[in-house]
Amino acid sequence: MNIIRIQASSMSIIAAAIAGIGLAACGGGAGENISFSAPQTFTQASVPCVNLKGMTIAAASIGLPTTGAVVTNAQVIPAAGVGTTAVGEYCKVEGEINPVDQTAPKIKFQVGLPTSWNKKALMYGGGGNNGTIPDIAGNYATNTSTQPVPLGRGYAVFGSDSGHQGKNDGTIDPVRDASFAVNDEALRNFTGEALKKTRDVAGAIIKARYATAPEKVYFVGGSTGGREALLSISNWPQDFEGAIAVYPAWDSVALNLAVGRLGQEFAKPGAYVSEQKRDALYKAAINTCDGLDGVADGVISNNAACNTTFDPLTATIDGTTPLRCAGGADTGDNCLSDVQINAFKTLNSPRDWLPGMECLGRGLWHFERSCCP
pLDDT in tens, 332-352: 999 999 999 999 988 887 654
Give the confidence band of 6 by pLDDT, cuts at 50, 70, 90. very low
DSSP 87: B
Q: What is the mean pLDDT of residues 273-287?
A: 95
Q: What is the dihedral of CA 39, 42, 48, 54, to 10 degrees?
A: 10
Element (H, E) at 90: strand 90-97
Phi, psi of 57 (to 5 degrees): -120, 120
Structural domain boundaries in the chain: 2-249, 255-366
Q: Using alpha carbons only, what angle is made at residue 309 by residues 348 and 353, rounded to the nearest 5 degrees?
A: 20
Element (H, E) at 285: helix 275-289
8 Å CB contact between 6 and 15: yes
The interaxial angle of helices 224-235 and 194-210, nearest 10 deg, is: 80
Burial (CB < 10 A; 0-12, 13-18, 19+), residue 267, is exposed
Q: CA 335, CA 339: separation in Å to the nearest integer?
A: 12
8 Å CB contact between 336 and 280: yes
pLDDT above 50: residue 331: yes
pTM, entire model: 0.70
Nearest of 203, 192, 198 to residue 231 by alpha carbon: 192
Q: In terms of DSSP bridges, do strands 34-36 and 12-17 run parallel, antiparallel, or are they unpaired?
A: unpaired
pLDDT at 22: 29
pLDDT at 290: 95
Q: What is the mean pLDDT of residues 104-132?
A: 96
* Residue pLDDT, tens place only, 239-253: 999 999 988 988 777
pLDDT at 111: 98
Q: In terms of DSSP bridges, do strands 34-36 and 55-57 run parallel, antiparallel, or are they unpaired?
A: antiparallel
Out of 71-80, 140-149, 310-319, least confident range:
140-149
Alpha carbon 215 to its chain centroid, in Å, reads: 24
DSSP per-residue string spanning 161-191: -SS-----SSSS-GGG--GGGGSHHHHHIII
pLDDT above 90: residue 165: yes
Burial (CB < 10 A; 0-12, 13-18, 19+), residue 78, is exposed
8 Å CB contact between 27 and 66: no
pLDDT above 80: residue 37: no
pLDDT above 60: residue 23: no
Q: Is 128 helix (H, G, I), strand (E, B) or coil?
A: coil
